[in-house]
């Protein structure tokens, strides 16, 4: 009885959604057709480029930015290098956590892909047969963009731009509704922001321990890197205040 009622409600919702789409009173569907219509009008080679960027390119570019920021942090060898690297490590972790949080959401909502319910869409990629809400790609790119902004304001703005572009391209490709993308933006932002304090509290001690290691300390500070005060950073040595090593560093800085 309960199953039949749930099925009836689902069918009623599907019929009403189709009616709204036909009557032109559903902004979600209207915007879907408007943005996806650009793919119909574009040459085939443009669609191939947009498909690659939306599926792989933006994620890869964001990862490269994170690596670039990490390289700069370890090269400078500043006193806060461990916490800075911890913030950068949170970028891919935030994306992974956000996608995991999305799994039960997608299975609960069970929204079909737009091309299954609406005809005439230009679908640029095959094999998207799972549920549509929330968009994994929009969640991923926005979570990485927000987490990167917390770690590095300048490059974080680029990451946020990639997040918005990535979500828009999912609509362009015909595989998500605009509300799928907006939900992904909200989910990715919430995970990256709300869990950041916990992540930093857990990751920073780990990065400091790595920094003190004679074998892998170079992951945090490059040997011979100069910090903000001109002091040469050596991950293998951590002199205490008043020690001979500390005095030597003061002499070098002078």
Q: Give the per-residue pLDDT at 14.
A: 45
Residue % of the chain over a pLDDT of 90 = 42
Bigger pLDDT: 165 vs 120: 165
Q: Report the distance separating Cα 63 and Cα 57, nearest Å.
A: 10
Question: What CA–CA distance (Å, rounded) separates 162 from 60?
Answer: 11
Question: Sorting pLDDT into bands at 50, 70 and 90, what band is 180?
Answer: very high
Q: Is the pLDDT of residue 228 over 50?
A: no
Token pair listed for 204? 């920073």
218-246: average pLDDT: 51
**Cβ(150)–Cβ(194) below 8 Å:** no
Please report where in the chains the tokens 């990629």 appear, as a residue: 125
Above 70 in pLDDT, residue 221?
yes
pLDDT at position 225: 56
The helix or strand, by DSSP H or E, that contains position 232, with its residue range, turns out to be strand 232-233
pLDDT for res 223: 66
* pTM to 2 decimal places: 0.75
CA angle 74, 78, 84 (to 5 degrees): 65
Among 159-163, 207-211, 232-236, the range scoring the smallest mean pLDDT is 232-236
Distance of CA 180 to the CA centre of its chain: 15
Joined together, the tokens standing for residue 91 give 């970028």
> What pLDDT, on a 0 to 100 scale, did the predictor assign at position 79?
81
178-194 vs 153-172: helix axis angle to the nearest 10?
A: 150
Q: What is the rounded distance in angstroms from the CA atom of residue 192 to the CA atom of residue 161? A: 16
> For 200-218, what is each residue's pLDDT tens digit?
999 999 999 888 888 888 8
- 36 pLDDT exceeds 80? yes
Query: Which whole-number Å values give the CA distances from 219 to 67, 74, 82, 197, in the listed order?
Result: 11, 7, 9, 22
């Amino acid at each position: 009885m309960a199953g039949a009622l749930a099925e009836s409600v689902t069918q009623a919702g599907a019929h009403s959604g189709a009616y709204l789409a036909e009557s032109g009173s559903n902004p979600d569907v209207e915007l879907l057709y408007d943005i996806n219509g650009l793919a119909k009008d574009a040459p085939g080679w443009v669609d191939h480029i947009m498909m690659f960027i939306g599926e792989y390119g933006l994620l890869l570019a964001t990862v490269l930015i994170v690596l670039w920021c990490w390289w700069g942090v370890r090269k400078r060898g500043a006193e806060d290098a461990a916490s800075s690297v911890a913030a950068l490590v949170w970028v891919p972790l935030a994306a992974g956590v956000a996608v995991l949080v999305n799994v039960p959401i997608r299975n609960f909502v069970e929204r079909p892909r737009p091309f299954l319910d609406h005809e005439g869409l230009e679908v640029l990629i095959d094999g998207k047969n799972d549920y549509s809400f929330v968009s994994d790609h929009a969640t991923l790119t926005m979570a990485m963009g927000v987490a990167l902004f917390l770690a590095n304001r300048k490059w974080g703005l680029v990451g946020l731009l990639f997040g918005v572009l990535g979500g828009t391209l999912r609509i362009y490709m015909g595989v998500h509704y605009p509300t799928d993308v907006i939900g992904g933006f909200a989910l990715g932002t919430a995970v990256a922001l709300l869990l950041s304090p916990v992540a930093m509290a857990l990751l920073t001690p780990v990065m400091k321990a790595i920094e003190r290691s004679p074998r892998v300390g170079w992951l945090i500070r490059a040997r011979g890197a100069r910090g903000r005060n001109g002091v040469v950073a050596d991950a293998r040595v951590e002199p205490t205040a008043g020690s001979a090593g500390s005095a030597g560093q003061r002499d070098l800085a002078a």
